Amino acid sequence: MTKVTIPIGPQHPLLKEPLSFLLTVEGEQVLESTLRLGYVHRGIERLCQERTYVQAVHLIERVCGICSHIHTTTYCQGVEALSGLQVPPRGLYLRTFLCELERIHSHLLWLGVLAKNMGFDTVFMYAWRDREIVLDVMEELSGGRISHAVNVIGGVRIDLDAAHTRSIQQRFDELERQVEKALALINNEPSLKARTQGVGLLSAEQVARYCVVGPVARASGVDVDLRRDFPRPPYDQLKFNVITHPAGDVWARTLVRVQEIRESLSLCRQILAQLPDGPTSVAMKRRVPPGEVVSRSEAPRGEVIYYIRSDGSDKPARLKIRTPTLTALITLADQLRGVNVADVPVVLSGVDLCIACADR
């Protein structure tokens, strides 16, 4: 049979962001795949060095279109550590509250994209409908559905009152019901299982070799979660389970992510219940003392790392961002080898790509 080269990208209905795959296909089987990246490289790291620490927050918000808040959180954590700022507990709790909301929103969005890519529009519509609940809450809190601009160096710029808390809790009840339905569907729906089980296999050894993080690693049975392993406040005060699954296929990733939504919901409820009183932020000094810091946090897709070096001026001397998607992208060559062409969309969406994050 003759070999055909199928281009997936840079523009393709499958992809929500520009990325290019060249698949060498024999019949319906993929033999090899070549990856090209860099279509949305914006030079954010360099641009941040041209701006002051405060201005950079707004630029870093735009590294990712889905997990914008976790990027600014990680950055602000780093700068706060460098300048020795103590963020008030209420500020930390509210910051974490938004992190967990963002995780729910990101996982629901991903569930929708996966369903759409395997031709299951109903699940796509349901997942994105339920995601609206979270987006509404985030919009009420910050004024933005996706880009919240909530973090400032030294805390957050939002606050919650009692009436608003109650209204949010009521909507969480509805979301919880929908998440239970989604879980039942993933566990029972035969056509969904037929399309995801045994597809995109990644063993624990491969996860270790490629340094894969986040839900993809956890779905291969690797028990890593920065929130538990190196808990920053307030995670040390909160109870949650780290979800793992030994199967290592796309189905396991689906299950892990949807169960994580449930855990995040419980985290959100705990935060609302324990929310301490007090101010939400402290003022920062314009100049940051010389030094360097590595700031890490658990984004929806796994560990995100910021390296910041300061030379004592009001601008970062060097800023390096390492996002979880980059590690997942490397595994795709292995995952795609030998799969059916029809499974390519499932494999690609299974790792939850965020190209903007990877390209920066």
Task: Point out which residues bind other proteins (CB under 8 A).
Answer: 4-8, 12-14, 25, 28, 115-123, 125-126, 129, 189, 191-192, 194-195, 340-345
In the complex, the smallest distance separating the C-beta of residue 25 from other proteins, rounded to whole angstroms, is 8
Nearer to other proteins, 74 or 117 (CB): 117
One-letter amino acid identity for 327?
T
CB atoms within 10 A of CB 317: 14
Q: How far is the CB of 56 from other proteins (least distance, A)?
A: 37
- Burial state string for 228-245 with b = 16 or more CB within 10 A and e = fewer than 16: eeeebebbeebebeebbb
What distance in Å separates the CA atoms of residue 8 and residue 239, rounded to the nearest whole number? 42
Check if the beta carbon of residue 348 is closer than 8 Å to that of residue 12: no
Q: Which is nearer to other proteins, 6 or 293 (CB)?
A: 6
| Nearer residue to other proteins within complex by CB, 123 or 141 | 123
Q: CB of residue 344 vs other proteins: minimum separation in angstroms?
A: 6
Least separation in angstroms between residue 138's CB and other proteins is: 21
Nearer Cβ to other proteins, position 118 or 202? 118
Among residues 206 and 349, whose Cβ is nearest to other proteins? 349
Go through the chain and tell me how many residues it has.
360
Token reading at 359: 């390209």
- Are 54 and 80 in contact by the 8 Å Cβ rule? The answer is no
Nearer to other proteins, 45 or 132 (CB): 132
Output 82 or 192, the one with its CB closest to other proteins: 192
Q: How far apart are CA 255 and CA 128, in angstroms?
A: 17
Q: Which is nearer to other proteins, 5 or 167 (CB)?
A: 5
- What are the respective helix, strand and coil percentages of the chain, to the nearest 5? 50, 15, 35
The single-letter code of the amino acid at 214 is G
Check: CB of residue 131 under 8 Å from CB of residue 108: yes
Q: How far is the CB of 69 from other proteins (least distance, A)?
A: 27
Q: How far is the CB of 350 from other proteins (least distance, A)?
A: 13
Shortest Cβ distance from residue 8 to other proteins (Å)? 8
Residue 69 in tokens: 């808040």
d(CA 211, CA 83): 31
User: Residue 47, Cβ neighbours under 10 Å: how many?
Assistant: 15
CB of 177 to other proteins, least distance (A): 14
Helix (H/G/I), strand (E/B), else coil: 64: coil
SS3 201: coil
